[in-house]
């Protein structure tokens, strides 16, 4: 195979990878909704016999942004974004296997709170789970 053919093949393969990367980034940008949104935050902890749903309003775009302003929410910021550690004094306990799970409108979240858009009418549920 000639040197020119090798250069063309490498260039085409590199272009395909670059295009695939751009498409992947564009597909992962959350679809945000500007303006005031009304939504619910549900907090469930069987360990603490606690179940509360609050109706919230915000003009923020992402759930992570809202949680950083929410009274009673404790969290850590990590390299991966916001990590919820507790609500209203009910803290996770890794030694006992407790951690907070997040679902949106009844579906398990596939991304972290920093990547979940706030949408009008949605229910964001945090459930204290035990075990992995």
Selected residue with higher pLDDT from 6 and 34:
34
Over residues 5-16, the mean pLDDT reads 63
- For the domain bounded by 37-130, which CATH number is listed? 2.170.130.30
User: For residue range 42-101, what is the model confidence (pLDDT) as tens digits?
Assistant: 999 999 999 999 999 999 999 999 999 999 999 999 999 999 999 999 999 999 999 999
Is residue 126 a contact partner of residue 44, using CB atoms and an 8 Å limit? yes
User: Looking up tokens 């069987």, which residue turns up?
Assistant: 46
Residue 18 vs residue 24, higher pLDDT: 18
Residue 5: its pLDDT value, please?
74
The first and second tokens of residue 82, run together, are 């916001």
For residue 103, is pLDDT > 70? Answer: yes
From 27-36, 41-50, 87-96, 121-130, the region with the lowest mean pLDDT: 27-36
């Amino acid at each position: 195979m000639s040197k020119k053919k090798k250069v063309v093949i490498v260039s085409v393969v590199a272009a395909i990878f670059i295009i695939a990367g751009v498409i992947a980034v564009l597909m992962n940008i959350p679809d945000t909704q500007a303006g005031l949104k009304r939504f619910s935050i549900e907090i469930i902890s069987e360990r603490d016999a606690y179940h509360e749903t609050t109706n919230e309003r915000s003009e923020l775009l992402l759930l992570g942004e809202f949680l950083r302003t929410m009274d009673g929410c404790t969290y850590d910021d990590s390299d991966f974004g916001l990590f919820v550690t507790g609500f209203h004094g009910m803290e996770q306990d890794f030694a006992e296997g407790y951690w907070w799970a997040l679902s949106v409108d009844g579906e398990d979240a596939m991304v972290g709170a920093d990547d979940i858009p706030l949408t009008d009418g949605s229910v964001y549920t945090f459930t204290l789970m035990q075990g992995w």
